[in-house]
Amino acid sequence: MKLKRLKVWGGNIVTVVMVITIVVMAFVIIASKVSGGDPKVFGYELKTVLSGSMEPEIKTGSIIAVKPGGDMTDFIENDVITFQQQDGKLITHRIVEVVGNGDNVLYRTKGDSNGTPDSNLVLADNVVAKYNGFTIPYIGYIISFAQSQNGAFLLLVPGFLLLLFACFTVWQTLAQIGVTTGKEAKKEQEDSCAP
């Protein structure tokens, strides 16, 4: 009886995880396609980190939540910011020095695992957002792929797994009904043969 309950609980947990996975993946794919960029949740943008320059705090392949907007001249040393380089690439690094004041603020930045600070100072105008400390390791790889042209197929994988699990559950239930019906038929036959 305990094994049966354990199987039921395990099946329910697998179902819930798969449904949540499908919903999250659908949200990420749809939000990124609609916005034309990174998905937003409660005013935070989810960015994918594909380099190891901020390890160990931010692992390669993580997603991070950053808060866009606000006063980009108000950051202090040790804040982690996301900024745009001249080539348009976004970088997330830690501020190691604030240079200037007022409207002429520049930031010297450095990746935590890099040996030296970045070669160029960052203009306050190039700061896109501030990192708030929220990160989920390795999900960035999935989101990055989901945003690609072939990424929509990711919705099919958990859906297919959910379908297989549903078929297995139906098969298992039908087998259980067959066993129960067979036992009842055998008992009825034994009862009718008894003197």
What residues act catalytically? 51
Give me 182's structure tokens.
């067979």
> Angle 113-144-121 (CA atoms, 0-180°, nearest 5)?
40
> Angle 143-91-151 (CA atoms, 0-180°, nearest 5)?
15
Give me 82's structure tokens.
């996301």
Distances in Å between the alpha carbon of 83 and those of 3, 27, 72, 153, 161?
54, 26, 10, 32, 39
* Cβ(109)–Cβ(141) below 8 Å: no
